[in-house]
A and B are shown apart, each in its own frame.
Chain A
Amino acid sequence: MPAAKPIRYIRPKQSFSDWLWQLIERRETLWFFIWKDLKVQYQKPVFGLLWSVFQPLVYFGIILSVMQFSGRVSTISEMPFSLYLISGLAVWNFTTSSILGAVNSIQSNAGIISKSFFPRFYLILSPVLKCTFDFLIMLLIVLGFAVYFQQPFIISNLGFVLISVFIAMTTALGWSAIAASLVVANRHIRHAIPVLLYAMIFALPVFYSMREIGNPILQTVYEFNPIAGAMDMLRSGFGSEISVQLMLSWLFQSVIWLSLGIILFRRTERTLADNV
């Protein structure tokens, strides 16, 4: 008795459960997409590793030098400034490269989008997951900084660090899906995205702490940006304090962003093959 044959319906709209099911069913294709990107990058492992941490380390060097030369004193009291900076940059770099990766992914895969079928959300998922891999390597560097500065690593706060990674991934995925949808709708937006992402660094606790500055506007911006949350929760692993109430709020915000991203992307993907 042969196995039951799969039945597929082709309809103008796909139900959310079918969409989710397809995402799970074709997961092998997703692994291959990620594997392809990783394999291309890590063909020469030394270079692969270098590129995954290159950008945040260069920014780290620049910002640190500028602070030194201009004689600015950091307002960070809870941990060495270098550790504060590198942990912020790790999250920021993950977010920006995920979003840029997703926008690029739509464009560079235009050929296979119009010639083959696979769940389109993989175009967003695979760059974000690939960036997560680089992010984890970057976290090892952050850990290295903590060891160098003899900063106590608080094991009991490891849970917060994991939630930080979760919030960063969820938000990055949501924003990537939104950015990619906007670019498909109007490809000129593509030019605005890198600018916005680089500007975002000033609204985030990367080289100054919003909490310590105490400006109410900055404080609100901080509380309503889950990526800011991911940064400070990562730092909680090295002794910075975190309010549980804020954590829950960021967690909630990140899930909202992801849902928005999925809703928008599902509208976009229906005619994606016609528009790329």
Chain B
Amino acid sequence: MKVISAERLSKAYFLKTEGDQEFHALKDISFDINEGETVGIIGHNGAGKSTLLKLLSGITLPTSGEAKVVGSFSSLLEVGTGFHPDLSGRDNIFLNASILSISRKEVLAEMQNIIAFSGVEKFIDQPLRTYSSGMKLRLAFSIIAHLKTDIITLDEVLAVGDSMFQVKCMERIFDFKQQGRTILFVSHNLSAVKKLCERTIVLRLGEIVFDGPTDEAIAFYLNSNSLTESFRESDFISNLTVSSTGKTGSITLELSNIPSDTAIDLGINISTQDGMPLYHFSNRFIDKSLVPENGALQLELTFDHQLKAGNYNVAIYIGQDEQPFLWQENAATLTVAPFAPYGFHNPDAIQASIITDFDINQL
């Protein structure tokens, strides 16, 4: 039975700053979801994943199109929505549950379980402002864990908390799946998507570019990455490719329109998507001189890295005669494929970076 059917859903925003320009967050999205299916939704930041969940939850209305949702629905875009610091933990359970449209009766029936599961029994009648952030998170999650709705949508709910918490979350989501609930799972954590979902939808710039088996979807998503859609056209850089096979990364680019043929300096920065710098490469580190011919130059950078699975931003710097003339942030995205030897009990969060060049011996 179809529990969600969306037909040509679109959402446009009007950018007031740029002369009422329309920005399409979602374009003609159509899909059906059957009862009991667990469907992953992946895509870059800004691909429209969150907008899609917001439309399905009714938080915002579509510009055009229609969707039909059959069955009770709860959407978890955040843990602990509506928590009030001056109310007790117990009161906040009611408040949060009511915002998630769980009735008071259901909460009363599950109250003891929710409190026991949260592990904050002792403080349950204390105001929430006295809780540590970990306690708040556990309380919020405990409410979610006792949800009884037919359809559950999750948007990066797992991206908070420590790795223990994330493991607990994943286990609970697997329980939901086992109970035959329908789950829509939005995540950047490809290994979690792979474990949880049989089917995955790939969104790109507001459109569904792939909808099918998860393995194929992830492969499609990763392949589409090396052709960098996020690359902003530049007069100087063309044919930029960024790829990573195993632990070896490679970046190639062509430079043109360089003002003169004196040696240039190339700097490449790799940082996390939150903007934390990780690696910096410069031709000066290895005393290589890069000299353009007729203002043009082809370059290839290969490097071994110890990055965990995920997406990284690549920034490019070019200077000449000690003067910078190009500094391109977010020039491209480097995607490192999942590497999960422990299976699902190996959330990415426990890896800062990976070292495979070491030895373990049994003594």
B327 CB-CB contact with A under 8 Å: no
* 0/1 interface trace, chain A 114-136, chain B, CB 8 Å (1 if under): 11111000000000000000000
Least CB distance from A56 to B in Å reads: 24
A26 to B67, alpha carbons, bound, how many Å? 21
A43 CB-CB contact with B under 8 Å: yes
Q: A13 near B61 (CB under 8 angstroms)?
A: yes
Q: B70 near A28 (CB under 8 angstroms)?
A: no
Q: A9 near B67 (CB under 8 angstroms)?
A: yes
Neighbouring B residues of A32 by C-beta, 8 Å: 94-95, 98-99
A47 to B56, alpha carbons, bound, how many Å? 43
Neighbouring A residues of B6 by C-beta, 8 Å: 10
A191 CB-CB contact with B under 8 Å: no
How many residues of chain A are within 8 Å of chain B by beta carbon? 31
A188 CB-CB contact with B under 8 Å: no
Neighbouring A residues of B68 by C-beta, 8 Å: 7-10
Q: B72 near A273 (CB under 8 angstroms)?
A: no
B71 CB-CB contact with A under 8 Å: yes
How many residues of chain B are within 8 Å of chain A by beta carbon? 41
Q: A112 near B58 (CB under 8 angstroms)?
A: no
Q: Which residue of B lies closest to A113 (CB)?
A: B59
A270 to B12, alpha carbons, bound, how many Å? 13
User: Which of A10, A40, A274 is close to B87, meaning CB atoms less than 8 Å apart?
Assistant: A40
B295 CB-CB contact with A under 8 Å: no
* 0/1 interface trace, chain A 189-219, chain B, CB 8 Å (1 if under): 0000000000000000000000000000000
Q: A117 near B58 (CB under 8 angstroms)?
A: yes
B185 CB-CB contact with A under 8 Å: no
Q: Which residue of A lies closest to B77 (CB)?
A: A115
Q: A28 near B77 (CB under 8 angstroms)?
A: no
B150 CB-CB contact with A under 8 Å: yes
Least CB distance from B88 to A in Å reads: 9
B86 CB-CB contact with A under 8 Å: yes
A72 CB-CB contact with B under 8 Å: no
User: Which of B9, B55, B59, B99 is close to A114, meaning CB atoms less than 8 Å apart?
Assistant: B59
**Chain B stretch 241-263: residues in CB contact (< 8 A) with chain A:** none
A28 to B69, alpha carbons, bound, how many Å? 22
Question: Which residues of B approach A to under 8 Å, CB–CB?
Answer: 6, 9, 13, 54-73, 75, 77-78, 81-82, 84, 86-87, 91, 94-95, 98-101, 103-104, 150
Q: List 18 A-B contacts (CB under 8 A).
A: A5-B71, A5-B150, A8-B70, A8-B73, A10-B9, A10-B61, A12-B65, A28-B98, A36-B95, A40-B84, A40-B86, A112-B81, A114-B54, A116-B59, A116-B77, A117-B75, A272-B60, A273-B54
Question: Which residues of A approach B to under 8 Å, CB–CB?
Answer: 5-14, 26, 28-29, 32, 36, 39-40, 43, 111-118, 270-274
